[in-house]
């Protein structure tokens, strides 16, 4: 059985949502990112030497890391659910473009804002970068229900997760009503609710 190593509300939430959407059987194990210990007392660095989440462990003990890779693996296990467009299709590359954008242009701009050592200047720089990205993103979402095509995909799981961090670092997404409506739309999904509930985040993230 698959096992997802996660930390509540971290980027691993996207993989957790994808697994709930996929219908695959899986287990969860919480990771304390400060101590690098798992809930069962194990050394997380022995599972993922990078030290961060998510990590997806297979029945044979092998491990896949990096959120976008895990998301695509999960989606491809049940292609009929359309969590990702078919491999080789133009839409698949559009999906990958979104995953790359979120990873490099949103996710990484949030990261310093969670660091207690972040200076006022660093915070200002990160906030300014986020504002530019969200101005662009709000325009892209204006006429979309989902990011790729007409159905929920793993790209939506990732964006929903990253958007949720705004509330924790004092970054107000309320300036862009289209993004708030998008968050509510994704949060209403049964699988998303299940993942949030399992991580103890149902009230915080919705």
pLDDT in tens, 44-73: 999 999 999 999 999 999 999 999 999 999
Q: What share of the chain is helix, strand, coil (3-state, %, to 5)?
A: 55, 10, 35
Query: pLDDT averaged over the chain?
Result: 96
Question: Which residue's structure tokens are 């325009």?
Answer: 139
What whole-number distance in Å separates Cα of residue 170 and Cα of residue 129?
15
Tell me: cis bond preceding 154? Omega within 30 of 0 counts.
Answer: no
Q: Supply the pTM of this predicted model.
A: 0.96
Tell me: cis bond preceding 54? Omega within 30 of 0 counts.
Answer: yes
Max CA separation in the chain (angstroms): 48
What whole-number distance in Å separates Cα of residue 42 and Cα of residue 7?
15
Digits of tens for pLDDT over the chain (206 positions)?
Answer: 999 999 999 999 999 999 999 999 999 999 999 999 999 999 999 999 999 999 999 999 999 999 999 999 999 999 999 999 999 999 999 999 999 999 999 999 999 999 999 999 999 999 999 999 999 999 999 999 999 999 999 999 999 999 999 999 999 999 999 999 999 999 999 999 999 999 999 865 54
CATH numbers and ranges of domains, the chain: 2-81+194-203 (3.40.30.10), 90-189 (1.20.1050.10)
What whole-number distance in Å separates Cα of residue 83 and Cα of residue 99?
13
pLDDT of res. 206: 44
């Amino acid at each position: 059985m698959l096992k997802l190593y996660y930390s509540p509300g971290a980027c691993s939430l996207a993989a957790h949502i994808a697994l709930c959407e996929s219908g695959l059987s899986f287990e969860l194990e919480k990771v304390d990112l400060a101590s690098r210990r798992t809930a069962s007392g194990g050394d997380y660095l022995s599972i993922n030497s990078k030290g961060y989440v998510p990590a997806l462990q297979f029945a044979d003990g092998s491990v896949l890391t990096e959120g976008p890779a895990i998301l695509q693996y999960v989606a491809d296990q049940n292609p009929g659910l359309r969590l990702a467009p078919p491999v080789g299709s133009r839409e698949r590359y559009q999906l990958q473009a979104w995953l790359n954008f979120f990873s490099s242009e949103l996710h990484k701009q949030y990261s310093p804002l969670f660091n207690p050592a972040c200076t006022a200047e660093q915070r200002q720089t990160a906030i300014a970068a986020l504002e530019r990205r969200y101005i662009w993103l709000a325009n892209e979402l204006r006429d979309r229900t989902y990011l790729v095509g007409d159905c929920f995909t793993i790209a939506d799981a990732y964006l929903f997760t990253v958007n949720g961090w705004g509330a924790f670092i004092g970054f107000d997404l309320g300036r862009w009503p289209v993004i708030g409506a998008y968050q509510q739309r994704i949060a209403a999904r049964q699988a998303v609710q299940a993942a949030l509930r399992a991580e103890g985040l149902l009230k915080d993230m919705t």
